[in-house]
Amino acid sequence: MEIFDVITRLIDLRSFSNLWYWIALAAIWSSASHWVMGVPWDMVGRARRKGGDAAADLVQIAGVNARRLNRIRGDAGVSMAVSIPFLLSFLIITGFVYGSETAQAFALLLVPLMLVFGLSLRLAIRLEDALTSGAGAEFVIAALSRHRISIQTVGVISIIVTSLWGMFQNLRISLMV
């Protein structure tokens, strides 16, 4: 049984003391900042620098992703409006009222991501309306740039709050032992 004890000590399953949780947190926010509403950020930079075909490609892919998000909102809007708050409420209550560290970790990860999803849905509506009325690449670049700053702001605040809460939990547990 000694090998089992070594493995369980090596792989701590508490969320905030687990290295994999922090790696996942960093990867998720890095990915959210790079893929702005489904458009890779390097494509926005290329369209800003070069214009022409790169700008036309950006407008097309932004339009496709805006229509896709609006279609998802139209088709599954009611079910998302019910299931997402239910899931987040469940995680928040289970985590912060009943003390489940795993639920706290998921809540601190998913609540800000749902805020970013809501911001993306709002931008999709604006983008689709603007593109159907003939807005050009400059509008799309500016809108995606503002949206990326919003995502990064939410991400930084989320990482800071999660780090502080994780340190508090780790200190609390280490003092209890």
Say how many C-beta atoms besides its own lie within 10 A of residue 87's C-beta: 14
Q: What percentage of the chain exceeds 90 in pLDDT?
A: 80
Mean pLDDT of the 44-58 span: 94
Question: How far is 61 from 121, CA to CA, in rounded Å?
Answer: 16
Whose structure tokens read 């950020």?
41
Question: What b-and-e string marks burial along 64-77, b requiring 16 or more CB atoms within 10 Å of the CB?
Answer: ebbeebbeebeeee
Assess whether pLDDT exceeds 90 at residue 83.
yes
Mean pLDDT of the 122-141 span: 93
Instruction: Give me the pLDDT at residue 141, please.
Output: 96
Q: Tokens in use for 50?
A: 């070069």
Instruction: Give me the pLDDT at residue 96, please.
Output: 96
Helix (H) and strand (E) counts in the chain = 6, 2
Mean pLDDT of the 77-81 span: 92
Per-residue pLDDT of 1-47, as tens digits, reads: 577 776 666 666 568 888 889 999 999 999 999 999 999 999 999 99
**pTM of this prediction?**
0.86
Q: What's the mean per-residue pLDDT of the chain?
A: 92
